[in-house]
Amino acid sequence: MTDEFQKLVDILRDGEKIVFFGGAGVSTESGIPDFRSANGLWNEKLQIELSPEQLVSHTYFERFPKEFFDFYREKLVYPDAKPNGCHRALAKLEEMGKLLAVVTQNIDGLHQAAGSKTVYELHGSVLRNYCMDCHAFYDAGYVTKTAPDPPKCEKCGGIVKPDVVLYEEALDGGIMQKAADAIGQADTLIIGGTSLVVYPAAGFIRYFHGKHLVVINKTETRADRSAELVLRTPIGETMAAAVAAL
């Protein structure tokens, strides 16, 4: 056991109001790549190459729904993905009464699948889909396998949109407030699997004024200099081992 790992265990043991703030790196160990690592695609209608960010923008969704869903199904929805060690460790911390909340930028629902109850999904979830006209609910399977292309509501014929915050769209104000409140109450904030470059989500760490700030990420983040502990180790393995050692 290294000194750094032991320090993480000690911080988790000391923490009574822990909040975990996570990004795409949390789910890569479950086989879900960061969609921004995907290659851009050529749009025949526009005769231009579009970036992944443009392909999941509100404008692209409205103008080219079929092409949007082609990219969405291939790069953002992973129905066979399972929770990894980090997801399960956080659920255990919550069960122990030590974790206040998970604040995530991910849209895969794996924290809830692992058993976490208090999860604030800043960017929504692929597991929820709604008709834009009558607001009827549809699960992920309808959008990926059952629905016509693009997905249409069986009740009114409206377009079915994933409950995911697209580029050019605002985050949900209620979720933002709950996430900010949780981070503000925390005595320990663990930042994991995110380089803190996507705003406004990355700005949430400014609400933290607690005792322990930990960063677990493979690359440098802007929170490193403020952190009590920085680990460059795989987050699934690290969190699983640390919680098991409590």
Digit-coded pLDDT (tens) for 69-122: 988 998 899 999 999 999 999 999 999 999 999 999 999 999 999 999 999 999
Domain that holds residue 67: 35-75
Q: Name the active-site residue from 58, 87, 111, 123.
A: 123
So what's the pLDDT on residue 48? 57
> 147 pLDDT exceeds 80?
no
174 and 229 assigned to the same domain = yes
Q: Lowest mean pLDDT of 47-56, 141-150, 236-245, name the range.
A: 47-56
176 and 58 assigned to the same domain = no
Give 166 or 195, the one with higher predicted confidence.
166
So what's the pLDDT on residue 137? 97
Q: How much of the chain, in percent, has pLDDT values that exceed 90?
A: 79
Digit-coded pLDDT (tens) for 8-65: 999 999 999 999 999 999 999 999 988 666 555 545 555 557 788 888 999 999 999 9
> 219 pLDDT exceeds 60?
yes
218 and 107 assigned to the same domain = yes
Separation of alpha carbons 132 and 112, rounded Å: 25
In this structure, the strands spanning 48-50 and 212-216 are: unpaired
107 and 212 assigned to the same domain = yes
Kindly calculate the radius of gyration of the chain based on its CA atoms and give it in whole angstroms: 19
> 145 pLDDT exceeds 90?
no
16 and 50 assigned to the same domain = no
In the chain, the number of structural domains is: 3
Report pTM.
0.92
57 and 138 assigned to the same domain = no
pLDDT band at residue 223 under the 50/70/90 scheme: very high
So what's the pLDDT on residue 200? 81
So what's the pLDDT on residue 45? 58
Q: How many CA atoms lie within 13 A of 177 on its CB side?
A: 3
> 237 pLDDT exceeds 90?
yes
42 and 135 assigned to the same domain = no
Query: What mean pLDDT do residues 131-153 have?
Result: 91
Q: How much of the chain, in percent, has pLDDT values that exceed 70?
A: 94
Active-site residue, 123 included: yes
117 and 16 assigned to the same domain = yes
142 and 182 assigned to the same domain = no
CA distance to 8, 32, 78, 219, 245, per residue, from 122 (Å):
26, 18, 19, 22, 30
So what's the pLDDT on residue 213? 98
Q: How many CB atoms lie within 10 A of CB 140?
A: 19
Last residue of a domain, one of 47, 75, 103: 75
